[in-house]
């Protein structure tokens, strides 16, 4: 089969690799579409993935093309979205319900062959069947959505909150769509890129601007979400949290990024600073929200690029052009 392969740091190719064979409790998925994400760029830069070469792609959906000897839950022809998380279920974090912080954390497309290929392997437990009306190629969005759902689990968000989101790329826009459904009193979005901000406006925001200085809310926001990973945005956002408010680090910063905090204010105003990492018991719910139309795939997927052009798709993503880019085998 054809697959994208990140061969070494900085080098991605599309090449021929052996077809996957399912283990007893595994499924072969014929990939319909696979999303690109910041994690793929980190892998290309030599972070995250312990071993190269790797077939990337952790955001994918497709049709079941083969099942292992002990699989009864899905059958050939079923359409599924795949939760890429691979947990050990044995370490302290797994045993205390923090599986996404597993000591042997692994994921399809990060530590094992992923979905940027014609076929991908997944444990049957990671496959969620798609209802009739969901288009398979759109369901590549379920994985990033499940990360956003996890973000709101961490926030334990309350009705009537004033929410400020930094970044209106795919993840910021997903946080926006979910914020509207958590009963936020207002949702404001910050982005320095006017084209991206325009999409946020199209989806419906209370206010949007290139800087929070332009928004009239001196008392700050109850919930501030960074969906950029950018130091300047994070630093600014930390200062915009209202008394008793929460700052959520949702965007993936580079390892070396540093910002300063104000311990007195954290104490005196009871401010919470927290983070959310990937997926935790949120994939199934994301699939259900997706099936219920929580977001419009036509807005969220800006580019559908043939798998053969994976390296170019990655370049376009790195340049920040478009919203979710998916490759189609």
Residue ranges binding Zn ion (CB under 5 A): 37, 39, 88, 91, 94, 102
Q: How far apart are CA 115 and CA 108, in angstroms?
A: 8
311 phi, psi to nearest 5 deg = -60, -40
Q: Which is nearer to Zn ion, 92 or 158 (CB)?
A: 92
Residue 1, Cβ density class (10 Å: 0-12 exposed, 13-18 middle, ≥19 buried):
middle
| C-beta of 37 vs 165, nearer to Zn ion | 37
Give the DSSP H/E element, type plus range, for residue 316: helix 310-318
Smallest distance, Zn ion to C-beta of residue 192, A: 22
Nearer to Zn ion, 207 or 253 (CB): 253
Q: Find the shortest distance in angstroms from Cβ 286 to Zn ion.
A: 12
Peptide bond before residue 241 is cis, with ω within 30 degrees of 0: no
The Cα 113–Cα 22 span in angstroms is: 13
Q: Closest CB to Zn ion among 102 and 187? A: 102
Q: 106 is written with which tokens?
A: 């692994």
Q: Please report how close the Cβ of residue 239 comes to Zn ion at its closest, in angstroms.
A: 28
Q: How far, in Å, CA of 193 to CA of 191, rounded? A: 5
Residue 153 — φ and ψ, nearest 5°? -60, -40
Dihedral angle, C-alpha 117, 118, 120, 125, nearest 10 °: 120
**Residue 103 beta carbon to Zn ion: minimum distance, rounded to whole angstroms:** 5
The nearer residue to Zn ion, 90 or 270, going by C-beta atoms, is 90
Please give the radius of gyration of the chain, using alpha carbons only, rounded to the nearest integer: 20
Q: Toward Zn ion, which CB reaches closer, 61 or 71? A: 61
Min separation Cβ 102 and Zn ion, Å: 3
Tokens of 67: 């099942």
Nearer to Zn ion (CB atom), residue 94 or residue 130: 94
Cβ–Cβ contacts within 10 Å for residue 75, how many? 10
Please, what is the minimum distance in Å from the beta carbon of residue 105 to Zn ion? 7
37/113 with CB nearer Zn ion: 37
- Shortest CA distance to 137 belongs to which of 62, 55, 78, 29? 62
CB of 196 to Zn ion, least distance (A): 18
DSSP 186: E
Judge contact between 45 and 9, C-beta under 8 A.
yes
Question: Both tokens of residue 287?
Answer: 């699939």
Q: How far is the CB of 154 from Zn ion (least distance, A)?
A: 17
């Amino acid at each position: 089969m054809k697959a994208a392969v990140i061969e070494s740091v900085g080098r991605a190719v599309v090449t021929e690799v052996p077809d996957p064979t399912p283990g007893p409790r595994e499924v072969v998925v014929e990939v319909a579409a696979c999303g690109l994400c910041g994690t793929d760029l980190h892998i290309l830069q030599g972070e995250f993935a312990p071993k190269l070469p790797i077939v990337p792609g952790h955001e994918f959906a497709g049709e079941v093309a083969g099942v292992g000897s002990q699989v009864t839950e899905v059958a050939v022809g079923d359409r599924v979205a795949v939760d890429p998380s691979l947990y050990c279920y044995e370490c302290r974090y797994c045993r205390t319900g923090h599986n996404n912080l597993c000591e042997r954390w692994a994921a399809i497309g990060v530590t094992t062959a992923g979905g940027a290929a014609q076929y991908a392997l997944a444990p049957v437990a990671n496959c969620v069947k798609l209802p009739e009306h969901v288009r398979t190629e759109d369901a590549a969005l379920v994985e990033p959505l499940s990360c956003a759902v996890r973000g709101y689990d961490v926030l334990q968000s309350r009705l009537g909150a004033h929410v400020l989101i930094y970044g209106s790329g795919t993840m910021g826009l997903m946080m926006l769509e979910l914020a509207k459904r958590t009963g936020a009193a207002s949702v404001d979005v910050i982005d320095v890129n006017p084209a991206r901000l325009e999409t946020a406006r199209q989806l419906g925001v209370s206010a949007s601007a290139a800087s929070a200085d332009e928004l009239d809310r001196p008392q700050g926001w109850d919930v501030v979400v960074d969906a950029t990973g950018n130091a300047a945005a994070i630093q600014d956002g930390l200062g915009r949290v209202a008394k008793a408010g929460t700052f959520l680090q949702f965007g993936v910063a580079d390892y070396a990024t540093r910002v300063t905090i104000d311990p007195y204010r954290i104490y005196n105003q009871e401010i919470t600073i927290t983070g959310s990492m990937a997926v935790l018991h949120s994939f199934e719910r994301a699939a259900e929200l997706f099936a219920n139309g929580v977001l419009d795939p036509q807005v969220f997927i800006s580019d559908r690029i043939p798998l053969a052009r994976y390296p170019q798709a990655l370049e376009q993503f790195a340049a920040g052009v478009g919203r979710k880019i998916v490759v189609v085998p």
